[in-house]
Amino acid sequence: MDDEIIQRLNSKTDLLVQKYQQLLRENQQLRADKTELEQQCDTLQRKNRLASQKIQAVVHKLRANQEETTHA
């Protein structure tokens, strides 16, 4: 009887260890994915800032041209 109980406990322990190891691997992958997404986000934010600056420069030029045309 004791051997049977010990065997069942060992089986359950093995399953729990396997599940824990699986969760550790999944957690590691999720952390790697998070890091990659954060890097992509940073890149997109930089590109967005640059695009906004370029748009502002074009708008400034257009307004300057419009003022020249209006006063000419």
pLDDT tens per residue, range 10-60: 999 999 999 999 999 999 999 999 999 999 999 999 999 999 999 999 999
| pTM check: above 0.85 | no
Residue 71: band (very low, low, confident or very high) from pLDDT cuts 50, 70, 90: confident
- In whole angstroms, give the CA distance from residue 8 to residue 19: 16
